[in-house]
Structure 1
Amino acid sequence: MLTQTHLDTAVKRGIINTAQQADLISLALESEDDPSNEGTGETPVAGADEDLRLVGGGNDLFVTVGILMLFSGVGFVLQTWLGNNQMIRAALMAVLLWLVAEFVTRQFRMKLSSTVLGLGFLGYTSAIIGLYIWDVLDLAKLADNPQLAFGLRPTIGSYGSAFFGGIAVISVLYFWRFRVPIMSAAIAISLTGLAFLWTFLYFYDGVTDGRVQLPTIEQIPLILERALMMPLICGIIVFCTAVYFDLRDRERSTVWSDCAFWLHVISAPLLVHPLFILATGQDVVLGKIEPGMTASIMLGLLISVFVYVALAIDRRSLLIPTLAYFGSLGVYYMIETTANSTGLPPLALILLVIGLLVIMFGAGWQRIRALIVRPTLPTSLINKLPPIRV
């Protein structure tokens, strides 16, 4: 029976092109919807759902458990042999993880196992860089005298850039070798950390040079609100990169689609938090929303915009963090009055509201996309977005 894997292999070997693959998938879906095919027991090569491809099956889970057990044992052995020599232990673990990935990832393309190996390799290589910087700067002395941190400014920029830049380079190399999608998230996080570092140093230098005056207590909320521009800009860049990957793989059949999934997961918090605070007028010092109808209206508009964008690009990975954030923070204040009048706990109402939304979107995602997205966007743009499978 023809499967999605067969089609992917056919594209890689040049037997068919991407457009022909999409036509075959559409034909399979049309056959599935045809009533005359009921009872045949045939399974389409691609479903109408968002295929995350995070787990490759029972054997993948089995191998993942074996990997965790193997490296747990190796960790105890290295600790026994090498003692507190953390640098060498981390280096040996990283080398062993790479060698196992050459077998598990390169030869068998096991998805969950490859993700675990990739995260493990990235963790140990990051530890190597961090331990090196810790020793060179002798950061242990800061525990006894925190004021010494002010003297690190001449070197913190270069070493901080080496840390975040090193993680980004390692992630790129690992992705180039093994094509593990979660490395895209690691690249995004490391570059975002680099942007935050230099933004902080820029304002720090402005204060020490006398170009920027220290804010008064009254000015602190305004300064904190302006500081939200940095995560918002980073979130927009990560989101646009994810959308670019989505547009170049409408049928979600390549590794770039999986990379886009992880980038949407990273971009959602970076976008939601600053927009939530800026739009609702939340007091970033006390952590409360200003009372009134304006905050509620702006919160509702924000939720609607994120839902619409998630439907348009067919990415629940963008919507789930959004609903979780709004449900835990924004909706609490909106329904607090209702909870106080009914005697129900606010958490119960939050769970009810968010649970109903998740079930509704989960059960009828593509139908909701067809009802909302198709009539509101031009055909030329719809043809570039992931197809609406109804």
Structure 2
Amino acid sequence: MPELKLILDEAEREGLIPRQAAERLLPFLIAHGVRVDQLSSEAPPRSAPFSDTETPSFVRGFHDVLITIGIVVALAGLWGIASVYAMLPAILILAEILVRRQRLSLPAVVLTVGLAIWTAVVAARWLEETPSLIPIGGNVALQYTLAFPVVLGLFYLLYRVPLALALTIMGATLIALQLILRAFGWLSGDPLFELNHPIILSIIAIASAVGLFALAMTFDLRDPLRRTVHSDVAFWLHLGASPALLYSVISLAGLSGGTLAALQTVSFRTPVVVVTVVALMLIGLIIDRRAFVTSGLLSLGFALYGIFRIGDGRVDTYIYITLLTVGAIVLIIGTGWMPLRRFVMGRLPAAMREKLPPA
């Protein structure tokens, strides 16, 4: 017999109860004394620790995967045959069928990503710009950024997809960053403030990333056992906050350079990347979020490649050593995640441990 949450999810998929009711019923039933072991003698009690609390709720089965493949192929074909503007009605029709009626989680994620891509392309066309070349400051960037929280926020209000809410929050964070930069530019009388003061820009970016991480933690702390929609929103916010923290710190260290090639240079700044990634890994262990680990692996690889280039080996040797090192780090952290987390959690204050997912 499945546990209480799985029973409510099954009832939601079969249309017996709406999604909002399923999300509110679980904590309500638990708060009023309904226990998992009252439903099945084989189910573990609520106090039993979980072996993994970061299983995304949108991964349910191959049925969702098959439908998701169909969505991607159909939308790609529609884009090629018609135009980008035909994507929006198609996404809304599919959302009505697959999200509102059938409550399929993975298709909801893919449709949200498709809507975000559609927003980026259409906003760039209206502004007669290329999405990858829009500068960070100025009216064009602000107008481009405004489209995301508006479109994705409306999509969230219609279909309650956690990723849509997370993208809305990220878009609002970018708008706040843009407004702060414009305020500094207005106060200083410098229209190119963000270009002429890169250190201040990096500090503001770090503050924005920390704010995004703090907001993700507010969702996480509401649901330390990862049983409600708050955990899903926190998952996506952490996935965005982690690279934002990493690259804003890299930018402050003078490593951004506009391209990843800057990370390959050998300098005293290169260890900053390694230290930052290690710090993110430690944070990920404490809050039980692997997103902090995975988002920094690419930059860690480039940093290690730069360090290994100090030697006299051939270029392919640098690459293979970098791949071996990063792969070893991934395997060590992946296979030893729970023991490492118990080791770290054991050295935290008891008050902090009580608020975090159990180890």
Structure 1: tracts of 5 or more residues without a match: 34-43, 80-88, 141-148
Structure 1 position 66 matched with structure 2 position 60 = no
Distance 1:340 1:214, change over 3 A: same
Match of 2:341 in 1: 369
Distance 1:168 1:309, change over 3 A: same
Distance 1:99 1:212, change over 3 A: closer
Match of 1:250 in 2: 224
Q: Which of 220, 223, 230 matches 2:204?
A: 230
Q: Which of 263, 267, 290 matches 2:241?
A: 267
CA contact under 8 A between 1:310 and 1:318: conserved in structure 2?
yes
Match of 2:154 in 1: 173
Match of 2:2 in 1: 2
CA contact under 8 A between 1:11 and 1:18: conserved in structure 2?
no
Match of 2:18 in 1: none
CA contact under 8 A between 2:286 and 2:345: conserved in structure 1?
yes
Instruction: Tell me, in whole angstroms, the C-alpha distance in 2 between the residues paired with 1:69 and 1:264.
Output: 29
1:184-203 to structure 2, matched below 5 A, reads 184-202=165-183
* SS, match of residue 174 in structure 2: helix
Distance 1:124 1:161, change over 3 A: same
Q: Which of 267, 285, 288 matches 1:290?
A: 267
Match of 2:19 in 1: none
TM-score, normalised with respect to structure 2? 0.77
CA contact under 8 A between 2:58 and 2:106: conserved in structure 1?
yes
Q: Which amino acid aligns with 1:290?
A: S
Structure 1 position 164 matched with structure 2 position 153 = no
Match of 2:331 in 1: 359
Match of 2:16 in 1: none
CA contact under 8 A between 1:245 and 1:260: conserved in structure 2?
yes
> Would you say how many aligned residue pairs link Structure 1 and Structure 2?
333
Structure 1 position 347 matched with structure 2 position 324 = no
Match of 1:386 in 2: 357
Aligned-CA RMSD value: 3.9
1:330-341 to structure 2, matched below 5 A, reads 331-337=304-310, 339-340=311-312
Instruction: Tell me, in whole angstroms, the C-alpha distance in 1 between the residues paired with 2:72 and 2:158.
Output: 22
Q: Which amino acid aligns with 2:341?
A: R
Task: State the Cα deviation string for residues 23-64 of structure 1 (Å, max 9, x = none).
Answer: 769x94579x9xxxxxxxxxx9x6525202343311111212
Q: Which of 92, 101, 110 matches 1:107?
A: 101
- Range with greater deviation from structure 2 (46-55 or 281-290): 281-290
Distance 1:267 1:18, change over 3 A: farther
1:333 deviates by: 3.1
% identity of equivalent residues: 23
Q: Which amino acid aligns with 1:336?
A: R
Structure showing greater Rg: 1
TM-score, normalised with respect to structure 1? 0.71
Match of 1:145 in 2: none
Structure 2: tracts of 5 or more residues without a match: 12-21
Distance 1:64 1:353, change over 3 A: same
Task: State the Cα deviation string for residues 188-241 of structure 1 (Å, max 9, x = none).
Answer: 44224324433554455567x4799999xxxx7xx3333211221121111111
CA contact under 8 A between 1:283 and 1:289: conserved in structure 2?
no
Structure 1 position 48 matched with structure 2 position 52 = yes
Distance 1:22 1:320, change over 3 A: farther
Instruction: Tell me, in whole angstroms, the C-alpha distance in 1 between the residues paired with 2:163 and 2:267.
Output: 38
1:377 deviates by: 0.7
CA contact under 8 A between 2:35 and 2:45: conserved in structure 1?
no
Structure 1 position 17 matched with structure 2 position 21 = no
Task: State the Cα deviation string for residues 87-107 of structure 1 (Å, max 9, x = none).
Answer: xx61x4312321221110122
CA contact under 8 A between 2:146 and 2:171: conserved in structure 1?
yes
Distance 1:260 1:160, change over 3 A: same
Q: Which amino acid aligns with 2:267?
A: E
CA contact under 8 A between 1:251 and 1:387: conserved in structure 2?
yes
1:309 deviates by: 0.9
Q: Which amino acid aligns with 1:304?
A: V
Instruction: Tell me, in whole angstroms, the C-alpha distance in 2 between the residues paired with 1:121 and 1:301.
Output: 36
Task: State the Cα deviation string for residues 308-342 of structure 1 (Å, max 9, x = none).
Answer: 2111100001111123222222x2333333x4269
